[in-house]
Amino acid sequence: MFNFAKPPETKSVWKRAVQAARYTISGVRPESWMSPLQPLKPFAPEQNAWQWDRPVGYNLYYKPRGNERYDFHELREAARQSELIRLAIETRLDQMSAMSWQVKPKMETTAGDEADDNDPRIKTISEFFTSPDKTRDWDQWLRVVLEELFVTDAVSIARRRNKGGGLYALELVDGATIFPLIDQDGRQPAPPDPAFQQILKGVPKANYTSDEFIYYVRKSQVNTPYGFSAVEQIIQSAETDIERLKYTLSYFTEGSVPDAYITAPDGMTADKVLAYEAHLNSILAGNQVGRRQMPILVHGMEMKSMKAAELKNDFDEWLARKVCFAFSLPPTAFIKSNNRATAESEKDRTQEEGLYPVLLYIKRLVDRIIREDFNSPDLEFHWNDDDEKDPLIQSQIDTAYVAAGIKSRNEIRDSLGLDDEEGGDALLVTAGNTLVPLPGSELDLQQKQEQQDQAQQTQSNAIEQIHAKTPAQHAAEAAGAANQNQPGAVGKRASVKKKFYAVSTHRS
């Protein structure tokens, strides 16, 4: 029988030298003084760089967050039991749900394209997001997304399609049931490979690709496919707050320290003390009316009040500050009152540091859906954050924009729903008490051209007047000029000036 097996490849000397050079550092020799030596030869040189040192058989450990320090259940319980965290989350939800939005063309378009606000796709997409999952309206849908964002950072959305393959609904899924799969390099598998599994009743239910499912993490990490939510960042403070609440509640329900104690008179035996204590407690225990009545004590007994427990101190304020800082909220509702300037500065800071990143997170999520599912990369989701500004502050901003030449009068009128005025499209800059065109603008060039034309016209008129004069008029003007240059006239003027200075000197 003939053996048709392929003979082993014989590598040339040059090829072996090139391959060996990949694993050595030039110039590093063992005989060099204090040599760093050559690195070890890689064990898997043919593979791509792994994203992280993922466990062997990771995809078999299908419990979501099974290898993390805190699982989804602990995060949800911390968000429910801690009053500070719950109040912070609800405040953010209320702020976001009060914001209005719109779908509009992007400002940056390809050459020759013009943004069309009447594009029919804008109406279609806007109507879709009024009820993204065909069950909840936008406000309800957004609140669920934000709840998942703040608590688990595992926003999970299933794309439900119609018979034609178009997007029918964006159905929200509990992120605690989703197990992200990884490929050989520790990254999310690309379609058509499965990227997610839903775990129900402890077993995998179904696989989903990244085209069928959106697992949108805000704080992505390189060493795990899971996010890092705001609740997880302060979960120890949340546990402390929960125990603090239990301690305060026990003060009013069970009580660890009595309100007062009674000293027995001298000579009273221990048996009588215990018997009297049991008798008195039996009368007062569970008897709200009896506690308000006057008890009769044995002669010589004395009642002494004990120091009440400190139910609130600086530690509570410190916990509130940490929780509010995690959600970028001003802690003014939980701390001692401060001046108005400080409160306003904290409000502005938290507005920029906390609310705007969340607005951008939702915008990027919706923009992704508009781009991938509606095939409209030239459209974008836009928050109408100007609606929440104070009218007086907004008017001051508009006035400053017009004075600086950033916006025209008609642009401000359009934002107020007013008709354009003639000449209101020009950009003007405030110079003293007047408005001048923006340097280099069309109106500025037009005015300069008009001034130049007017100067030329004035010069032309003057030349025409000179040529139009008769010889007699020229002779009269020359005679008048000669009379003014006579010595008597000059001396007369000089004497007047001397007289003036003499009077001035005499007065001083």
Q: How confident is the model at residue 336 (pLDDT cuts 50, 70, 90)?
A: confident
| Mean pLDDT taken over the chain | 80
For residues 137 and 475, the model is more confident at: 137
pLDDT by residue (tens digit) across 176-227? 999 999 999 999 999 999 999 999 999 999 999 999 999 999 999 999 999 9
Domain boundaries, the chain: 58-98+107-236, 260-305, 392-465
In this structure, are strands 155-161 and 213-216 parallel, antiparallel, or unpaired? antiparallel
Specify the pTM.
Answer: 0.67
For residues 182 and 118, the model is more confident at: 182
CA distance 224 to 245: 34
Ranked by mean pLDDT, the top range of 170-179, 378-387, 434-443 is 170-179
pLDDT by residue (tens digit) across 83-96? 999 999 999 999 99
- In the 8-state DSSP scheme, what is residue 221? B
Beta strand ranges found along 309-401 (DSSP E) = 379-383
Q: What is the arithmetic mean of pLDDT over 108-129?
A: 76
Q: Of the given ranges (4-13, 17-26, 42-51, 334-343), which has the lowest mean pLDDT? A: 4-13
Q: 174 with 181: CB under 8 angstroms?
A: no
CA distance 195 to 179: 9
What size, in residues, is the chain? 508
pLDDT by residue (tens digit) across 440-483? 667 777 777 788 888 888 887 777 777 776 677 667 766 766 66
| Type of residue numbered 295 | P
